[in-house]
């Protein structure tokens, strides 16, 4: 019987580039986008050879332009994320390697923080599905990893974190209950547009002091000056605001916010307010939880926090400040409880797990018993109605989306690989009707909160379902796959029409649907909405300048080897090639990603690769351009870089890495 096993992998701490694997990319990048190829390239010396042998200095330390894109933050707001230029990612990794212990020290100063680095990670845990584990060798399952010969497949973070890596764990903690017992009122307050408003020079104020920073402006060798310069260079030289997405930005902000925490405590003490007696505060990144026992203290602390933030050019978001009295239960908590009841009522009605003897002495196995759904439509309607009632006054599907989809994923994982029986009727028909209902319920909820994290979750669920239905007859299996494809098509069309600026969400789903077979590829008309190309009445394809790097890579991955789409692919490549005509293309992160991924893409023709290489090399010299272009392509063309062309067959691994790097 298959089961989940955990394996501890020891990390080699002297690997100065390992931060590239966890610290420099946003969580919400395409599931096949990573730094694995960049990591291999720098470890093997290819990065240095690009300059010494080919004259390309695009990885030099300098001011660069990040690649920015938008995602849905929630049903009403967007968030602009940024991917650093590879040169700055490398600099970040070296910076971590040099200053990691100092970073930890600076992130241990505040007693108020709920999430901060506490030590350098020594291990990561890899969860593997194993059906034949030799438990006698369990103690030998720690492996040294240098990151090159074997890149950590599911490494999560450079640092180990205290206390709560995710905010919901604070809500579910004993500490939250203890604070409720001790304090009568709770005020929630957050910093307005925190990362976009951080002034990078304030890192020096936080590490030393404002007066010291003003007196020593010319000291470019200090930790704080280097950190300041690093984030400026990564953001086109800007001092107002830091990039949103990379973990390094959160650490930069945490150092500043911890200093502000200490200032808040000091200001309160001057008013004869003592921490943990008259009040206490907990801060999760840019969210404050203020606990007090009377309205006077509450109001005084509510004035002190904005004052302390103002000194660092930050401000609170008054519209989001809320006061609560005991019991500290939110509409989100109530909604989650009721959603749990609705899901449980549906699943327990049709599925039961029973223990049965295996035939071997004193051994049992878990068997899945299914009850046939007599009326699938009625069951689905009733369950969705219960979910809608559970949402109630909350008015949004977003806050409990992780919980909802996570519950279904865990339940289906329990079914996968187990023997299935039915007390009444056909096992195959019972499974078919049950999964039909599950698919409809899942896609309903997903359509209400189609964000990047939820796309990852439903992608994992769809791949789980694909494994479960392997036992079904071909006709039933094909019908379920068609239902998944049709539901996905409807959502992709609607999202592309209603929210054309958000692409990552639907493009990730496209990759999963592609996994069900080439016969389920969507039409050019639908893809034109996702990938911003136009189809003339005569059928001619024209690609607009809206087509960005992520769209281009998804398009190539989705249809690059399909003859029917060759005109679209050719037009997209031709359009993207133009950016290398500019002499300063290497300063732009998007152009650098595009350059290496086009040269290594199996769906880009050799003539197109030669053209791209020549355009880049001509800015250096025209001498021997043909042979130099061929040499460059040979150097970089047969290696993976940023987009995982060869990972499509193992989407589950890509999704597992995402699962273990859950965003804060």
Burial class of residue 515 (count of CB atoms within 10 Å of its CB; 0-12, 13-18, 19+): middle
Task: Write out pLDDT tens, residues 331-381.
Answer: 888 999 999 999 999 999 999 999 998 877 778 999 999 999 999 999 999
**In terms of Cα–Cα distance, which of 56, 55, 47, 49 is closest to 20?**
47
Distance CA 245, CA 23 (A): 10
**Strands, E assignment, 455-549:** 533-535, 541-543
Intervals of the chain under pLDDT 50 = 1-6, 125-154
CB of 37 closer than 8 Å to CB of 46: no
339 neighbors 404 (Cβ within 8 angstroms): yes
Order of strands, edge to edge, in the sheet holding 3-11? 123-130, 3-11, 144-145
d(CA 488, CA 175): 42
Distance CA 586, CA 87 (A): 10
Measured in whole angstroms, the distance separating CA 97 from the mean position of its chain's CA atoms is 23
Query: In the block, which residue shows the tokens 């007066």?
Result: 211
Up-side HSE of residue 486: CA atoms within 13 Å toward CB?
Answer: 9
pLDDT in tens, 495-518: 888 888 888 988 999 988 888 888
CA angle 78/648/565 to nearest 5° reads 80
Q: Which of 85, 55, 83 is nearest to 69 (CA)?
A: 83
pLDDT for position 652: 75
SS3 16: coil
| Sheet containing 419-422, strands listed edge to edge, beginning at the edge strand earlier in sequence | 351-357, 364-370, 419-422
Number of residues that this document lists for the chain: 664
Q: Which two tokens stand for residue 282?
A: 């907990």
So what's the pLDDT on residue 648?
62
Q: How far apart are CA 490 and CA 484, in angstroms?
A: 10
pTM equals: 0.90
Calpha distance 457→19 (Å, rounded): 25
| Residue ranges per structural domain of the chain | 25-80+523-663, 84-119+162-325, 331-496+516-522
pLDDT of residue 9: 55
Q: Assign domain 84-119+162-325 to its CATH architecture.
A: 2-Layer Sandwich (3.30)
Phi, psi dihedrals of residue 28, rounded to the nearest 5°: -90, 55
Name 12's Cβ contacts closer than 8 Å, sequence gap at least 6. Answer: 18, 144, 145, 146, 147
Q: What is the DSSP letter of 284?
A: E
Q: State residue 651 phi and psi, 5-degree precision.
A: -65, -30
DSSP structural state of residue 521: P
Return the exposure string of 608-645: e unless at least 16 CB atoms fall within 10 Å of the residue's CB, then b. bbbbbbbbbbebeeeeeeeebbbebbebbbeebbbbbb
Contact 27, 245 (CB under 8 A): yes
3-state class of 291 per DSSP? Answer: strand
């Amino acid at each position: 019987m298959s089961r989940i096993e955990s394996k501890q992998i020891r990390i080699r701490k002297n690997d100065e580039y390992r931060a590239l694997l966890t610290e420099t990319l946003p969580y919400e990048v395409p599931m096949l986008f990573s730094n694995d190829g960049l990591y291999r390239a720098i470890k093997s010396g290819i990065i240095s050879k690009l300059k010494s042998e080919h004259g390309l200095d695009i990885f030099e330390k300098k001011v660069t332009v990040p690649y920015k894109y938008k995602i849905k933050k929630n049903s009403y707001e967007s968030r602009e994320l940024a991917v650093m230029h590879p040169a700055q990612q490398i600099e970040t990794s070296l910076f971590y390697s040099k200053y990691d212990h100092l970073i930890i020290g600076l992130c241990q100063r505040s007693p108020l923080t709920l999430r901060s680095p506490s030590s350098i990670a020594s291990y990561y845990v890899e969860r593997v599905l194993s059906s034949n584990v030799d438990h006698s060798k369990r103690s030998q399952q720690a492996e040294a990893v240098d990151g090159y010969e074997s890149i950590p497949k599911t490494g999560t973070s450079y640092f180990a974190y205290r206390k709560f890596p995710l905010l919901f764990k604070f809500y579910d903690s004993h500490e939250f209950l203890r604070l409720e017992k001790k304090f009568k009122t709770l005020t929630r307050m957050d910093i307005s547009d925190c990362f976009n408003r951080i002034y990078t020079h304030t890192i020096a104020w936080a590490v030393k002091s404002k007066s010291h920073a003003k007196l020593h402006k010319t000291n470019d060798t200090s930790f704080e000056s280097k950190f300041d310069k690093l984030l400026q260079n990564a953001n086109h030289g800007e001092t107002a605001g830091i990039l949103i997405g990379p973990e390094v930005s959160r650490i930069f902000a945490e150092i500043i916010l911890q200093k502000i925490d200490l200032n808040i405590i000091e200001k309160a003490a001057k008013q004869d307010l003592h921490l943990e007696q008259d009040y206490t505060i907990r801060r999760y990144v840019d969210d404050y939880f203020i606990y007090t026992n009377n309205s006077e203290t509450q109001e005084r602390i509510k004035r002190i926090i904005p004052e302390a933030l103002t000194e660092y050019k930050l401000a609170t978001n008054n519209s989001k400040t809320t006061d609560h009295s005991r019991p500290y239960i939110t509409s989100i908590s109530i909604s989650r409880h009721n959603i749990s009841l609705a899901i449980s009522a549906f699943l327990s009605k049709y599925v039961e797990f029973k223990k049965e003897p295996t035939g071997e002495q004193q051994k049992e196995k878990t068997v899945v018993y299914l009850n046939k759904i007599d009326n699938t439509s009625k069951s689905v309607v009733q369950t969705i109605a219960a979910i809608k009632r559970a949402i109630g006054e909350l008015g949004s599907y977003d806050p409990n989306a992780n919980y909802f989809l996570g519950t279904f994923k865990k339940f289906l994982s329990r079914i996968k690989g187990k023997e299935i029986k039915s007390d009444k009727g056909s096992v195959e028909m019972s499974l078919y009707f049950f999964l039909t209902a599950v698919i409809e319920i899942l896609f309903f909820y997903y359509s209400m909160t189609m964000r990047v994290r939820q796309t990852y979750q439903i992608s994992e669920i769809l791949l789980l379902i694909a494994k479960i239905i392997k036992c079904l007859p071909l006709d039933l299996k094909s019908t379920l796959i068609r239902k998944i494809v049709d539901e996905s098509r409807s959502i992709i069309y609607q999202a592309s029409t209603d929210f054309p600026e958000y692409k990552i969400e639907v493009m990730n789903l496209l990759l999963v649907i592609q996994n069900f077979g080439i016969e389920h590829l969507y039409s050019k008309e639908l893809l034109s909405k996702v990938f911003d190309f136009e189809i003339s009445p005569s059928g001619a394809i024209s690609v607009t300048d809206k087509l960005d790097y992520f769209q281009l890579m998804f398009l190539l991955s989705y249809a690059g080897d399909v003859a029917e789409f060759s005109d679209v692919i050719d037009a997209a490549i031709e359009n993207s090639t133009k950016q290398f005509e500019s002499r300063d293309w290497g300063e732009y992160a998007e152009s650098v990603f595009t350059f290496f991924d086009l040269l290594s893409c199996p769906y880009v023709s050799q003539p197109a690769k030669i053209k791209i290489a020549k355009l880049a090399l001509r800015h250096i010299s025209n001498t021997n351009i043909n042979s130099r272009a061929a040499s460059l392509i040979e150097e970089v063309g047969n290696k993976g870089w940023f987009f995982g062309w060869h990972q499509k067959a193992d989407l589950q691994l890509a999704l597992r890495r995402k699962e273990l790097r859950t965003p804060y």
